[in-house]
């Protein structure tokens, strides 16, 4: 039926003659002007507290172009993707900013200053890490944000660096994983997915992609082989019925918190790692912070009580990156606007550091099962 003006508008149409249509996604053309490719160090002093200086991810130097990544042989490029409108609560778009600013007390120190005491490996010493800025996001459209996110993640991976995406909501899994499939091949990248929700829904209020549907989209399109999709931490009130049947019929491997309740965390952790090693040539870690109990992670849009503790999650994140061939990672659904303390961003910061520590361990050849440093685990034992 025509509206009062006698036309049938396409409410989803892009106004092609709008001069602001693409200004959000076109990068400046002078990013390399006047300088040689390489990392840009923004801190004036070699040592500073976390509360000082210009905030970057883990206080690391900045790269702006693929040439910068290649020139510096960057091994991990962290990129923000502030998309948060595919779910019911806004605020996760501020996740990247919160994480950049959350080294509350850890200082920037010369090399060797901050080893992880469980394993005595310093990720910031062992790895070349860069803050690669943020992906372009159309703050009014998930659909228009997909390709810019996919493009910047692919751009990082094509240089040989490992992309680490900080969200933003979990719809990001679709462009992030699709980008890695572009580089490594469809069906060759498995996913270990931490979440309280299954995110493989068929429907999303009429939208093809929401933060509750990316898994089904990836599997339907053949980006990920369903048997190489491993889920950890599921609980609450979904999935059930047809959705659970879809997961089972497609051969997804999943671990509900009921399994933890029955068999214990160590049993589930060992199963998840064995499954990660069984099949896919490459692995991607997708960490929705709501896999953690809201006592430890109140700053998320869809909290679900009864989740993991940091003491349970941290070793699995570290072990996956040390013991398997991880080529990319994401941390999503951090919503600092609903946590008036710094707790959520602090715990998210440590999740990032656990994964980077595992990557550094693998680089050093420390890939044995559940390695812990004898300096700290066996000290004082007879």
pLDDT in tens, 181-204: 999 999 999 999 999 999 998 888
| Structure confidence at residue 294 (pLDDT) | 98
Helix (H, G, I), strand (E, B) or coil at 160: coil
Residue labelled with tokens 């002007």: 33
Half-sphere exposure of 10 (CA within 13 A, CB side): 5
pLDDT in tens, 327-345: 999 999 999 999 989 899 9
For residue 258, what are its two tokens? 């009921």
For residue 257, what are its two tokens? 């918190």
Residue labelled with tokens 């440590």: 350
For residue 91, what are its two tokens? 């605020």
pLDDT in tens, 87-116: 778 899 999 999 999 877 777 766 557 899
CA distance 326 to 109: 27
User: Which of these, 196, 164, 153, lies nearest to 306 by C-alpha position?
Assistant: 196
Are β-strands 229-234 and 189-194 bridged in parallel, bridged antiparallel, or unpaired? parallel
* Cβ neighbourhood burial of 65 (10 Å; 0-12, 13-18, 19+): middle
Could you give the angle at the alpha carbon of 129 between the alpha carbons of 318 and 215, nearest 5°? 55
For residue 289, what are its two tokens? 């912070």
Element (H, E) at 186: none
| Structure confidence at residue 353 (pLDDT) | 96
CA distance 75 to 146: 24
Cis, bond preceding 239 (omega within 30 deg of 0): yes
Beta-bridged to residue 284, according to DSSP, are: 191, 328
CA distance 303 to 306: 10
User: Which of these, 374, 370, 197, lies nearest to 290 by C-alpha position?
Assistant: 197
At the second CATH level, the architecture of 57-377 is 3-Layer(aba) Sandwich (3.40)
Q: 0.85 exceeded by the pTM?
A: yes
CA distance 368 to 186: 29
Helix (H, G, I), strand (E, B) or coil at 302: coil
Could you give the angle at the alpha carbon of 78 between the alpha carbons of 72 and 79, nearest 5°? 115
* Cβ neighbourhood burial of 123 (10 Å; 0-12, 13-18, 19+): buried
What is the domain partition of the chain in residue ranges? Answer: 57-377
| Structure confidence at residue 112 (pLDDT) | 57
DSSP 110-138: STTS--BTTTTB-HHHHS-EEEEEE----
Element (H, E) at 350: helix 343-364
Low-confidence residues of the chain, pLDDT below 50?
1
Beta-bridged to residue 75, according to DSSP, are: none
Are 120 and 375 in contact by the 8 Å Cβ rule? The answer is yes
**CA 367 to chain CA centroid, nearest Å:** 22
| Structure confidence at residue 348 (pLDDT) | 97
């Amino acid at each position: 039926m025509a509206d009062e003006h006698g036309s049938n508008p396409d409410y989803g149409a892009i106004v092609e003659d709008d001069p602001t249509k693409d200004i959000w996604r076109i990068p400046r053309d002078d990013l390399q002007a006047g300088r040689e490719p390489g990392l840009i160090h923004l801190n004036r002093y070699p040592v500073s507290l976390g509360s000082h200086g210009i905030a970057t991810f883990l206080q690391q130097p900045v790269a702006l172009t693929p040439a910068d990544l290649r020139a510096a042989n960057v091994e991990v490029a962290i990129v923000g993707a502030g998309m948060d409108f595919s779910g019911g609560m806004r605020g996760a778009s501020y996740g990247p900013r919160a994480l950049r600013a959350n080294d509350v007390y850890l200082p920037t120190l010369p090399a060797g200053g901050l080893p992880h005491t469980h394993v005595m490996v310093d990720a910031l010493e062992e790895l070349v890490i860069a803050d690669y800025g943020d992906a372009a996001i159309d703050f009014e459209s998930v659909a228009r944000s997909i390709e810019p996110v996919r493009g910047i993640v692919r751009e990082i991976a094509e240089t040989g660096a490992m992309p680490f995406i900080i969200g933003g909501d979990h719809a990001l899994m679709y462009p992030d994983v699709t980008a890695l499939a572009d580089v490594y091949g469809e069906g060759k990248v498995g996913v270990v997915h931490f979440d309280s929700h299954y995110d493989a829904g068929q429907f999303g209020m009429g939208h093809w992609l929401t933060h509750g549907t990316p898994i089904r989209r990836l599997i339907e399109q053949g980006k990920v082989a369903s048997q190489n999709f491993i889920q950890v931490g599921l609980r609450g009130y979904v999935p059930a019925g047809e959705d659970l049947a879809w997961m089972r019929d497609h051969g997804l491997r999943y671990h509900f918190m009921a399994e933890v309740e029955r068999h214990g965390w160590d049993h589930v952790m060992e199963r998840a790692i064995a499954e990660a090693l069984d099949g896919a040539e490459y692995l991607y870690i997708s960490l929705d912070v709501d896999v953690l109990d809201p006592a430890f992670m109140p700053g998320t849009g869809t909290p679900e009580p009864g989740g993991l503790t940091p003491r349970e999650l941290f070793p699995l994140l570290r072990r996956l990156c040390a013991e398997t061939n991880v080529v990319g990672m994401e941390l999503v659904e951090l919503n600092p606007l609903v946590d008036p303390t710094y707790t959520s961003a602090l715990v998210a910061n440590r999740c990032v550091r656990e994964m980077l520590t595992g990557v550094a361990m693998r680089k050093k050849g420390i890939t044995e099962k559940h390695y812990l440093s004898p300096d700290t685990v066996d000290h004082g034992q007879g």
